[in-house]
Structure 1
C-alpha cells in the first residue's frame, strides 16, 4: 500500500462536497451492484445545490485521486467507483481497525 496514493485520496475526500459525492457514488454502486448505474453530473448539481462548473471541478479532483472513473456519452457524464482504490481504502481501514 503506497502512502502517497492514500494521502492523495484522503486529501480529495477532505472537502465536504467531494466526500458527499463519493459517498453517493458508493451508495449507488452498492445498491446496483449487478447493474452499474453510476451517478450523473445532474445528480450532484441537484443534491448539493451547486453549479455545474463547481461539480466538474470536484469530479476532476476525485478522478485525479483515482477515487472514481468517468464515462462520457455525448454531453452526459456518469461517475463510477474506482474499484481498485476502493479496495485500498478498505484495506487501510481494516489494517487500522482490525
Structure 2
C-alpha cells in the first residue's frame, strides 16, 4: 500500500457509519444491501453513497446475485492496511 492509498482508506474509515457498515459486513460472508438499509437508520441514497466510498477504496466488495446486491469485506485491502500499519509500528524508535 502506498501513502496515497493509505490516505484514501483512512478517509473512508473516518466516517462512523462506514465503520459500522464494515463491522456488519464482517459478521457474515456476504451481507445484502437491503439488510444494510434495515440495520442503519439512513436513507437509501446515503447508504449508497457510503457503500460507493467503501467499494471505491476496496474496503467492500460488491457482487450482484440476480436482483440482489451483496457486500463483503475487501480482505485484500484490509490486509494491505494492516501490513502498512505494522510497518509504521516497526519504524518506531527503540527505547534504551
Write out the 4+ residue segments of structure 1 that deviate beyond 4 Å after TM superposition.
none
Q: CA deviation at 1:77?
A: 0.7
1:26 paired residue number: 26
In structure 2, how many angstroms separate the alpha carbons of the residues matched to 1:24 and 1:11? 19
Q: TM (normalized to structure 1)? A: 0.80
What residue number does 2:94 align with? none
Alignment of 1:7-86 (within 5 A): 7-28=7-28, 36=29, 38-86=30-78
CA change 1:95–1:26 in 2 (3 A) is: farther
RMSD between aligned alpha carbons? 1.6
Q: Rg bigger for which structure?
A: 2
What stretches of structure 1 of length at least 5 have no aligned partner? Answer: 29-35
**Consecutive unaligned residues in structure 2, runs of 5 or more:** 91-96
Measure the CA separation in 2 of the matches of 1:56 and 1:74: 18
Q: SS at 1:77's partner residue?
A: strand
